[in-house]
Amino acid sequence: MNRQGRPTTSGAEQGPTGVVETVSGHQGLALEEPLLYERGSPEMTGVDLPEVPAVTSRLGQMGREGDIGLAGLSEPDTLRHYTRLSRQNYAIDMGVYPLGSCTMKHNPRLNEKMARLPGFTDIHPLQPEETVQGALGLMDMLGHWLKTLTGMPGVALSPKAGAHGELCGLMAIRAALEAKGNARKVVLVPESAHGTNPATAALCGYQVQSIAATSEGRVDLAALKEALNEDVAAVMLTNPNTCGLFERDIINIAEAVHAAGAYFYCDGANFNAIVGKVRPGDLGVDCMHINLHKTFSTPHGGGGPGSGPVVFSEALVPYMPRPLVEWRDGGFTMEETDEDSQSFGRLTAFHGQMGMFVRAMSYMLSHGADGLMQVAEDAVLAANYVMASLSDVMTASYAGPCMHECLFDDRFLKDSNVTTLDFAKAMIDEGFHPMTMYFPLVVHGAMLIEPTETESKKNLDEFITSLRGLVAAATQGDNDRFSAAPYLAPRRRLDETAAARKPILRWSPPPASTTN
């Protein structure tokens, strides 16, 4: 029997308080991970493949010669490499992710399970239509839900992301105007717009003209009316807008736009604030993209894939892209462009982001019409609660109530040496993802907070308490805490200037040794 006891407390009176220099470079659970090319080798593979049958090659003279230089990992090392990398990321699954304008809500795993059913993942876009009736049926169902929720008669599912949806909508508008004989020249965009709006307008051959905002953070109706003339093709407006406010004059705006013979494009990035509560069709919108990865919870995946279906008013339905799912002769079919169609054409190969359609449909069916209404209400409630709980110490840019996100600016930091950037980076040390910074551009040092409806009140209270603590520290002059933050992340601040001056965009093998 081993009588030797084991100490259960540290032998030292007091353990080290700072960071310990380690031999390995790791810091306990904070594991450093080399590049794939430093861990792996060209000889290693983590996949067992069957032997290649002996055949006479029919590659012509084009067989590949020489090494590609790829590194391979064993299967265990692959798991370790990517697991270690994953732990250097912040994620919704870890904590509050209040990125305004991005809608970082909970991503239900039922959606993932449904999207992985073999009947959805393992079907080819060019299979005979009779063999994919369930897939076409799901697309039809999604289209029906989106049309009903928006009160719009047409839907195109193929756009691959929000910005692609903008392109889709604006191309339909231009096609409709050209059919009337005049494509017009200008698209009006508010100063607070997402950068994709002007970029999309330019892609459709339009000049962009900016419209001013009122002191209440909304489109200046008088200025808009003044800018409207027969050169204006469309107005692109986000509603609720990027300041988190509902455009009070939206119905008047739509009427004025239509009176000028122009179309009303609504950027639906913020639809999550009004889903089930307000139908954009009732506001006079002509087309709107819907980010399935925002309102309908499909995962952001570290930057995509997104999905951006677009709904259309009656006036634009003839110009929608192809293909469209249609019910014909007792079955679903994909309607492609034909000679007589006024459609502006095809936006992508195949039919859009099926994997995202399944996830969004799983989310919608789970919530139902009643639950989606609750989603909007809770999102708006959460944002107003955060705004009310912080407005005495931080400076809200506009009076409430807000919609699903609340906008602060940096006036509350004016007597400190802390910038919006510093403040945001200090939030990382507190265990939160920073809010959106410096957007929208219409206020100074913007901080846009979108809590979403999936944070509990307890989570919100913890977030609020931390922010109040940071504000107190900033106003009391505790500059060190901010100026070099974050201290506790996998990396300290990164040198973006150096990265841009001498871009290193790939790994390169070290220079060959000259001794061999």
Partner 1 sequence: MSKLYFTEDHEWINVDGSDAIVGISDYAQQALGDIVFVEIPEEGRALAKGDEAAVVESVKAASEVYAPVSGTVVAGNSALEEEPALVNTASQSDGWFFRMQLSDPAELEGLMDEAAYATYIQGLDG
Partner 2 sequence: MRYLPFTAQDRSDMLSVIGVDNVDALYCDVDPDVLLSQPVDLPKHATELSVERNLTSLARQNTVAGEVPFFIGAGAYRHHVPATVDYLIQRGEFLTAYTPYQPEISQGTLQALFEFQTQVAQITGMDVANASLYDGSTGCGEAVLMARRITRRKKAVLSGGLHPQYRDVVKTVTTFTDDDVVINPPAPTADEDLIAQIDDETSCVVVQYPDFFGHIQDFSALAAAAQEKKALLVVVVTEIVSLGAISSPGAMGADIVVGEGQSLGNGLNFGGPYLGLLATRQKYVRQMPGRLCGETIDAEGRRGFVLTLSTREQHIRREKATSNICTNSGLCSLAFSIHLSLLGEKGYRQLAALNHARAVQLAERLELIEGVEILNAAFFNEFTIRLPRPAAEVVNTLAAQNILAGVPVSRLLPQQHMDDLLVVAVTETVQDEDMMALEAGLKEVLS
Q: Which spans of this chain sit near partner 1 (rule: CB under 8 A)?
A: 496-497, 500-501
Cβ closer to partner 1: 192 or 362? 192
Annotate each residue in 370-409 with x if it binds partner 2 (CB under 8 A) or - if it does not, as one string: xxxxxx-xx-xxx-xx-xxx----------xx-x------
Is the separation of the CB atoms in 172 and 327 below 8 Å?
A: no
Residue 123 contact, options partner 2, partner 1, none, Cβ 5-8 Å cut-off depending on partner type: partner 2
**Which member of 306, 309, 440, 445 binds partner 2 (CB under 8 A)?**
306
The residue among 7 and 118 lying less far from partner 2, judged by its C-beta, is 118
327 binds, among partner 1, partner 2, none (CB under 5 to 8 A by kind): none
Q: Which is nearer to partner 1, 500 or 512 (CB)?
A: 500
Q: Which listed range, 34-42, 309-317, 408-416, 471-479, lies at the site for partner 2 (CB under 8 A)?
A: 34-42
Nearest approach, Cβ of residue 78 and partner 2 (Å): 5
Asked if 191 interacts with partner 2 (CB under 8 A), we say no
Total chain residues near partner 2 (CB under 8 A): 203
C-alpha 468/C-alpha 109 separation (Å) is: 33
From CA 321, how far away is CA 336, in angstroms rounded? 9
CA distances for 437 relative to 100, 383, 440, 445, 493, angstroms: 9, 17, 8, 7, 16
Query: Can you tell me the distance from the alpha carbon of 253 to that of 221, in angstroms, rounded to the nearest whole number?
Result: 7
Interaction residues for partner 2, span 92-121 (CB under 8 A)? 92-94, 97, 99, 102, 104, 106-108, 110, 112-114, 116-121
Task: Tell me which residue of 191, 215, 193 sits closest to 398, measured CA to CA.
Answer: 215
Least distance CB 3 / partner 2 (angstroms): 45
DSSP letter for 181, please.
T
Handedness of CA 160, 106, 447, 86 (dihedral sign): negative
Which of helix, strand or coil describes residue 465?
A: helix
Among partner 1, partner 2, none, partner that 440 touches (CB below 5 to 8 angstroms by kind): none
Task: For partner 2, give the closer residue by CB, 60 or 330.
Answer: 60
Is 127 an interacting residue with respect to partner 2 (CB under 8 A)?
A: yes
Side-chain-side CA neighbours of residue 344 (13 Å) = 22
Closest CA to 323 of 162, 512, 135: 135
Which of positions 258-297 make contact with partner 2 (CB under 8 A)? Answer: 274, 276-279, 282-283, 297
Helices (H), 334-435: 354-390, 420-429
* Other residues' Cβ atoms within 10 Å of the Cβ of residue 391: 15
- Give the residue with the Cβ less far from partner 2, 121 or 229: 121
**Range in contact with partner 2 (rule: CB under 8 A) among 256-264, 340-348, 412-420, 471-479:** 340-348
Of the two residues 154 and 308, which places its CB atom closer to partner 2 in the complex? 308
What backbone torsions phi and psi does residue 289 show, to the nearest 5 degrees? -90, 155
Cα(23)–Cα(25) distance, integer angstroms: 6
Alpha helices in 180-248 (DSSP H): 196-203, 221-227
For residue 11, state whether it binds partner 2 (rule: CB under 8 A): no
**Interaction partner, residue 223 (partner 1, partner 2, none; CB < 5-8 Å by kind):** none
Q: How far is the CB of 14 from partner 2 (least distance, A)?
A: 26
Nearest approach, Cβ of 53 to partner 2 (angstroms)?
5
Among residues 492, 407, 313, the alpha carbon closest in space to that of 100 is found at: 407
Binding residue (CB under 8 A) for partner 2 from 22, 27, 82, 255? 82
Closest C-alpha among 355, 495, 331, 475 to residue 416 = 475
Q: Does 366 bind partner 2 (CB under 8 A)?
A: yes
Q: Which residue has the tokens 């991005």?
A: 102
Token pair 């219409």 is found at: 442
Among partner 2, partner 1, none, residue 95 binds (CB under 5-8 Å by kind): none
- Whether 280 and 250 have beta carbons less than 8 Å apart is answered as no
Residue 179 is a binding residue for partner 2 (CB under 8 A): no
Of 7-15, 86-94, 255-263, 443-451, the window that binds partner 2 (rule: CB under 8 A) is 86-94
List, in order, residues 6 or more apart from 406 with CB less than 8 Å away: 244, 383, 384, 386, 387, 390, 396, 400, 448, 449
Q: Which is nearer to partner 1, 501 or 506 (CB)?
A: 501
Which SS3 state, helix, strand or coil, does residue 198 take? helix
* Binding window for partner 2 (CB under 8 A); candidates: 67-75, 219-227, 405-413, 465-473: 67-75
> Residue 3 or residue 295: which is nearer to partner 2 going by CB?
295
Query: 202-261: which residues touch partner 2 (CB under 8 A)?
Result: 202-205, 208, 245-248, 251
Residue numbers 438-497 binding partner 2 by CB under 8 A: 439, 453-457, 484, 486, 489-496
